[in-house]
Amino acid sequence: MTIEWRYTVEQDLGILSVAGFLGPDAVRRFSGAVGWVVGRGSGPVIVDLTGLRGWSTEGRLAITEAAQHLAAAGRSLELAAIPADGTAVSDRGSPPIPVHADLPHALAAHSTRHGERPDDRNEWRTPGWPSVVDAGE
């Protein structure tokens, strides 16, 4: 099983939404998405895990590696809505990884206009991005 992803840029903030299961079979695709992100946008990247059903040790390690990759490009990584299994990502040996309860809380932490989301927006997604995730936003 793999993941689907969507990347949205809003002003100086990137949102990488991930759906599926971030396990050993999905790590390469996730790393590819992070490579895509590095080349587009600027500023912090929030990895929105609202659509993620779970993650393995390899998946959590891929998050840590993504934080390192983004830091090397002068950007930071934050997490929103980690899976309910309660496991966390270790940030030992990598930049700190802030964790937000959900995407609205993460966006509020970066609000540029008194809690409003910016109007200028670009978006890229994998062809299989689930429409059910879109409906929940």
CB contact at 8 A, 54 and 60: no
pLDDT at 33: 94
- 86-125 pLDDT, tens per residue? 667 776 777 889 999 999 999 998 875 434 544 555 666 7
Percentage, residues of the chain above pLDDT 70: 80
pLDDT in tens, 44-68: 999 999 999 999 999 999 999 999 9
Kindly indicate the confidence band of residue 12, based on its pLDDT and cuts at 50, 70 and 90.
Answer: confident
- Tokens found for residue 91: 């940030």
Q: Is the pLDDT of residue 130 over 90?
A: no
Where do the domains of the chain lie, and which CATH numbers do they carry? 3-135 (3.30.750.24)
- The b/e string for 12-30 (b: 16+ C-beta within 10 A; e otherwise) is ebbbbbbbbbbbeebbebb
